[in-house]
Amino acid sequence: MALVEARQLTKVFRRPEKDPGLRGAVKHLFTRRFTDKVAVDQLDLAIEAGEAVAYVGPNGAGKSTTVKLLSGILVPTSGEVRIDGLSPRKDRVAVAHRIGVLFGQRTQLWWDLPVAESLAVLRDVYGIDHGTYRKRLKRFDEVLELGDVLPVLGRKLSLGQRMRADLAAALLHAPPVVYLDEPTIGLDLAVKDRVREFFRTVRDEGTTVMLTSHDLGDIEGFCRRLVIIDSGRIIFDGALEAVKDAFARERILNVEAETAVPVATLREVLPGATVEPGETPLQFAVRFDRFAMTAGQAVTAIAPLTNLVDFHVDEPSIEDVIRRVYSGELQLERDSA
């Protein structure tokens, strides 16, 4: 059984339809008109123990709502959630000990307490012994540089300081499941790199991680599985590299030749490919489908026509693919698997 499982998970929010101002509010008391907004739509998701899953999509796609449903913060309209076989709604305390949650736009620190005292409160809430607590705090300090943050009141933290402290709070009780919603927002580049390395260590130790982020640097090198959600529905669920193979098949072979070759001649020896002239008569680019032609085949076809001075192949990055999904250039079909 999957460690995190959602079946036909649906969340519908009711929004009042009313005109602005006092008059609109009074009128709404009598008309009582509402509009249903489906944030998560019959979502099926299973995450195995030890997996690191990237959960991405455009703004308003339902990512944060899904995380709130999986953590028990929101109650689903229909469907069910199981965390290690437990229901976040019915077994709130047991589930709370099994999950850690970080929301980049919200904090779990007490605003009127220094960070050190907030973490101490969480230590007592989760029943962590003092020796283990000190060991974990030292480890967080090495990665997140918490030393200068611990004496600061929660309300006086900068965004970057708060994110570092919230990361420590989310991971303090060593939960087997961690939800990270925009975990590196506000962090400078040096700290961001250390945090990403820390995430990889946590993953390698067996922690199950679900990561939502618009910063694809958080995803590459950390998550092996990618789930793309749009309008509350999963439209892709598979290996991170597979999304490029499935939805970004085009490759570009950039060539610099010793002598000029007519574009028409290149098109004859490269059927199915698109040949574009370059900045000089000696340069050109070949666009081809990697499943119809390999770069090696393209080079072999060109070589008899001229000596090749230089060539390289451009492959789309996962960032390019997801950006095209966000902009609507790629219409992905929902993965029925």
Helix axes 318-327, 240-247, angle to 10 degrees: 60
Note the helical H segments in the chain.
Answer: 21-31, 63-71, 92-96, 115-125, 130-144, 159-171, 189-204, 240-247, 263-269, 295-302, 318-327
* Residue 59 shares a structural domain with residue 121: no
Domain harbouring 275, CATH code: 3.30.70.260
Q: Which pLDDT tens digit goes with each residue over 92-135?
A: 999 999 999 988 778 889 999 999 999 999 999 999 999 999 99
Q: Output the domain CATH number for residue 240.
A: 3.40.50.300
Q: Does residue 105 belong to any structural domain of this protein?
A: yes
Describe the strand order of the beta sheet including 283-289 as a list of residue ranges.
274-277, 283-289, 250-257, 308-314
Position 337 scores a pLDDT of: 38
In the predicted structure, residue 333 carries a pLDDT above the cut 60: no
**Domain check: are 323 and 308 in the same one?**
no
* 67 and 7 in a common domain: yes
Q: Are residues 291 and 169 in the same domain?
A: no
Amino acid (one-letter) located at 262: P
The pLDDT score that the predictor gives to residue 334 is: 44
- Give the pLDDT of residue 165: 92
Q: Residue 127: what pLDDT?
A: 94
DSSP string, 29-93: HHH--EEEEEEEEEEEEEE-TT-EEEEE-STTSSHHHHHHHHHTSS--SEEEEEETTB-TTTSHH
Q: What is the pLDDT of residue 158?
A: 87
Residues 14 and 88 in one domain: yes
Q: How confident is the model at residue 332 (pLDDT cuts 50, 70, 90)?
A: low
Convert the pLDDT of each residue in 155-199 to its tens digit: 999 888 888 899 999 999 999 999 998 888 777 777 788 888 888
In a domain, 191, yes or no: no
Identify the domain containing residue 48 by its residue range: 1-98+205-248+318-337
Question: Is 153 contained in some domain?
Answer: yes
In a domain, 196, yes or no: no
| 139/280 same-domain check | no
pLDDT in tens, 246-287: 667 888 999 999 999 999 999 999 999 999 999 999 999 999
Residues 241 and 327 in one domain: yes
With left for phi above 0 and alpha for psi between -120 and 50, is residue 178 left, alpha or beta?
Answer: beta
Q: What is the mean pLDDT of residues 69-95?
A: 93
64 and 5 within one domain: yes
37 within a domain of the structure (yes/no): yes
Question: What's the chain's length in residues?
Answer: 337
Q: Which residues contact 84 (CB under 8 A, 6 or more apart)?
A: 3, 95, 98, 176, 177
- DSSP 8-class letter at 126: T
- Domain membership of residue 198 (yes or no) is no
Q: pLDDT value at position 327?
A: 67
